[in-house]
Structure 1
Amino acid sequence: MDEPSQAERRQELRAPIELKVEYKRLNTFFADYTRNISRGGTFIRTTRPLPIGTEFLFKLFVPHLGEPLRVQGEVQWIVSEAEVEEGKHPEPGMGIRFTYRQGSTQEEIDRVVERLMVDSLGQRLYSKLMDQSRDKPGPG
């Protein structure tokens, strides 16, 4: 399988935040949970991952928001149950990259994710980790 390297997957700081997500695919509704989130994407825990390259709209249920956040994403990689059984990964699911269309809510999503990360990690640790991630050279 052509799977991105660990470094490519982690271009953004991630926080271990569990949020409910809902999405529909081929007239089937799914309700799963995130394992972690960053400004660039999330990992959705599921035993029914969508195919790599699939673009889809999902609802992200954030505690301090009255309405779920509607987010467009693309499946970048998947973790199968077999890979979990082999001890390669802790749980099955799919890595999602947030995608933005013209007139999208990228700034809103960035603000929400940043607030979630500060709430999860604390302002001091979040700021320290963000400073460290900015100092690292990017891929390429």
Structure 2
Amino acid sequence: MPPEDPPPASDRRQVDRLPIELRVEYRRLNSFFADYTKNISKGGTFIRTAKPLPPGTEFVFVLIIPKLEEPLRLNGEVVWTTDPSRATDEQPAGMGIRFKYLDDAERRVTEDIVERLVKEELGGHISERLLRAAKPTDPK
């Protein structure tokens, strides 16, 4: 399957992404881009953009999160893209990003921020249910 076609959801991620839109900023070559996420999880996000970076590209981006004094700066890798010519309402143009953590401490901090964000955006009862369902299963 070509990398510009998003693989089935079961092949893409271990944790479900939740429908939260955030402003995201990043650079490509000498240009600055500001787009929006379509969804987010503790392990990655989908960035809606008409100019996705090529799969395999590693880059630094910032998420603008309400109620945080500073943007959340993360490393990510483009795992798959949807070209604008193939975009649909269900699968808009953009790129699926896997967060690349420098260490376990950065992973924990990011996961805590995403969990708080989900609770604030979706409310306590709904977020608890979604976060419980989104936890990776123990392979034992």
Verify: 1:115 aligned to 2:106, yes or no: no
- What is the letter of the counterpart of residue 119 of structure 2? V
Name the SS for the 2:98 alignment partner.
strand
Tell me what 2:67 maps to. Answer: 64
Unaligned runs of 5+ in 2: none
1:101 partner amino acid: L
Contact 1:79 1:89 in 2 (8 A): no
Amino acid at match of 2:100: T
TM-score (norm 2): 0.86
Structure 1: gaps of 5 or more residues? none
Please list, as runs of the form range in 1=range in 2, the aligned pairs for 1:12-91 lying within 5 A after superposition.
Answer: 12-84=15-87, 87=88, 89-91=90-92
Aligned-residue sequence identity (percent) comes to 47
Instruction: Provide the C-alpha distance between the structure 2 equivalents of 1:82 and 1:47, rounded to a whole number of angstroms.
Output: 9
2:39·2:45 contact (CA, 8 Å) conserved in 1?
yes
TM-score (norm 1): 0.86
Q: Name the residue aligned to 1:11.
A: 14
Question: Over aligned residue pairs, what C-alpha RMSD do you find?
Answer: 2.2
Q: Residues 107 and 23 of structure 1: is their aligned pair in 2 closer, same or farther, counting only changes over 3 Å? A: same
